[in-house]
Structure 1
Amino acid sequence: MGFLICACLLQLLFLCSPRVAAQSQPLSPARILDAMLQDYAYRAFVRPRTGIVYNATLPGNLAGIAVSALRLRSGSLRRKGFAEYFEFGIPTGVIVQPYVERVVLVYHNLRNWSDYYYPLPGYTYLSPVLGLLVYDAANLSAVGLEELSIVASGSPISVSFSNVRAVPPGGPAPRCVWFDLDGVPQFQDLEATNVCSTYRRGHFSIVVNSSEIAPAPAPSGTVVPPIPTAGGRAKGSSKTWKIAVSVVGAAIALGLLASLMLCLVRYKRDKKLEVMERNAEVGETLRMAQVGRTQAPVALGTRTQPVIENEYAA
């Protein structure tokens, strides 16, 4: 029984350890930026109204980036879509996963920060990186929210880029690039001139695999902005919740390890006692004798008679 308990504790320890390690992995600069822009986008909802685009105000260290927020009902988004949300054309049939009553569509235009947050070796950006992320609109004071997924069940979402740099004559054909939340790029052909399509949320741009095109000028002071602090807007902060879960997970793992060590010590002690009891059962049986009112074991006669030592004995 003790061995089974030890085995269960050991299995729980192995299951908990990878999760704690995964939660402790550092965030990439792009994910830190997403969290900051979500915070500033929600701050733009001074008097929130459904279906109205609100432009966010960013600090000086993010100069050049444009962020906007649009709140919609999930049912309205699926039935009606949203024809022109800057460069994004959202058709009907877009489904939010997991389902929430209202969503906020946060728009990003990274402009001259595109190369820094989404480096793509061997490629040159012909247009800025544009982002479309979706969040739950239940609490417009929340920061550090997890992104929701959207799936275009019918026609794809179109991305019509403007001010696209021209490719030199004879150069390679430009292509669309899509970055998921982990920053992994996927390439596809353009749907039309300067138009890309997607069925999911993420970041998008047009690139060309050519060293002949001069790269866009890098922004001054490429300093990664810090993770946004909640301050007085700490309600629903999932980043704080993740840290707390990591600490609790580490404490649970240490507790399981201590319980496992205690279990092993007890198991060895019980096995030792079991061996001693088994040896006692197969040993010599003592004769019982009446001592007062109780029965008590007494040893049999000694095997060797005692001899008094005497220096005069022969």
Structure 2
Amino acid sequence: MGLLHRRSLTIILSMWILWLPNLKAQPPGSYSTAQKNLDAILQDYAYRAFVNPRTGIPFDGSVPSNLTGITISAMRLRSGSLRSRGVKTYKEFEIPKGVIVQPYVERLVLVYQNLANFSASYYSISGYTQLAPVLGLLAYDASNLSATNLPELFINASKQPISIRFQKIDSVPDGSVAMCAWFDLQGGVNFSHVESDNTCLTSQQGHFSIVANFTAAPPPQRKGEKKSSSKTWIIVGSVVGGLALILLLVLVAICIGRYMRNKKMKRMERAAEVGEALNMTSIGNVRAPSAMSTRTQPMIEHDYIP
């Protein structure tokens, strides 16, 4: 392939890369304001349950009337005790030894949430149905049990994972697969396999549920779902159109290359014709020099004739 062809293909590939739609993965979503506000309210009401607080004992709290159905509980612990002993049973959670709290606090409170009938309102996943209520486990500083709007502490199970055993889940739709869903505090959703006895595992705090996808029997398409289908067709059309554009540009480059070669050959022929001393004649598709039709006549060197 000539230099012209290589340059043409380089230009085409550059144009193709710039023209393609951006298909990068979307960044993780943000923890919504509604979710943050709900956690703040539940933390406030859970702390109110500490009338006569005792370390290591769960205290069930009450929620405001507009959140009836949600259950909460609070347990105060020493950070050192949590790391060395863990918590054998805290509602549906089993916390092993080796849990590290960051930043370090002398005492912390583990707030338990069961969102019950509010689960789908705050933690729905497009394309999935919830088989179990959303359960939350969040850690807060226990130095001031009257404080509100506290930031969550970071807890990490450094040895064995924290287990969540869901007491009751709905039946899995035919053809679907049940999965554990972990909603972290950055707005991300993480999936993992369901262990035996409807148990999910995690190494950090957050909100948890068991979900199933709609692959077996998808629900009727809604208006909002048409946008997703339209985006798919747009991407397919973009790829097909891009391939057609590449093919067209390659053909144009080939035609340009042939035109430039023919033009160069004609220029060389004209230059050769200007400098030639002999007449040129065409024999088929080849031009060749030809001799003059009249040859030089012989001449007598001396006028003397014997």
Say yes or no: TM over 0.5.
yes
Aligned runs of 1:33-72 on 2, under 5 Å? Answer: 33-72=38-77
* Residue in structure 2 matched with residue 147 of structure 1 by the alignment: 152
- Aligned residue for 1:133, secondary structure, equals strand
Report the AA paired with residue 37 of structure 2: I
In structure 1, what is the Cα distance between the partners aligned to 2:114 and 2:101?
22
Return the offset for 1:206: 0.3
- Aligned residue for 2:110, secondary structure, equals strand
Report the AA paired with residue 190 of structure 2: Q
* Residue in structure 1 matched with residue 122 of structure 2 by the alignment: 117
In structure 1, what is the Cα distance between the partners aligned to 2:31 and 2:98?
36
- Pick from 171, 175, 178 the counterpart of residue 174 of structure 1: 178
- Aligned residue for 2:136, secondary structure, equals strand
Distance 1:31 1:200, change over 3 A: same
- For structure 1, list consecutive stretches of 5 or more residues without a partner in the other structure: 1-24, 216-314
Q: Does 1:192 align with 2:196?
A: yes
CA contact 1:39–1:144 (8 Å) conserved in 2? yes
Q: How many residues align?
A: 190
* Residue in structure 1 matched with residue 296 of structure 2 by the alignment: none
CA contact 1:108–1:131 (8 Å) conserved in 2? yes
In structure 2, what is the Cα distance between the partners aligned to 1:29 and 1:150?
23
CA contact 1:122–1:210 (8 Å) conserved in 2? yes
* Residue in structure 1 matched with residue 228 of structure 2 by the alignment: none
Q: Does 1:86 align with 2:97?
A: no
CA contact 1:176–1:189 (8 Å) conserved in 2? yes
Larger RCO, structure (CA 8 Å, separation 6 or more)? 1
Q: TM-score normalised to the size of structure 1?
A: 0.58
* Residue in structure 2 matched with residue 4 of structure 1 by the alignment: none
Report the AA paired with residue 151 of structure 1: N
Return the offset for 1:214: 11
Report the AA paired with residue 198 of structure 2: N
1:162-208 superposed Cα distances (whole Å, 9 cap, x missing partner): 1111113x421100000011332111111223110000000000000
- Pick from 102, 105, 117 the counterpart of residue 100 of structure 1: 105
CA contact 1:167–1:213 (8 Å) conserved in 2? no
CA contact 1:125–1:208 (8 Å) conserved in 2? yes
In structure 2, what is the Cα distance between the partners aligned to 1:94 and 1:214?
41
Distance 1:26 1:151, change over 3 A: closer
1:227-256 superposed Cα distances (whole Å, 9 cap, x missing partner): xxxxxxxxxxxxxxxxxxxxxxxxxxxxxx
Q: CA RMSD in A?
A: 1.9
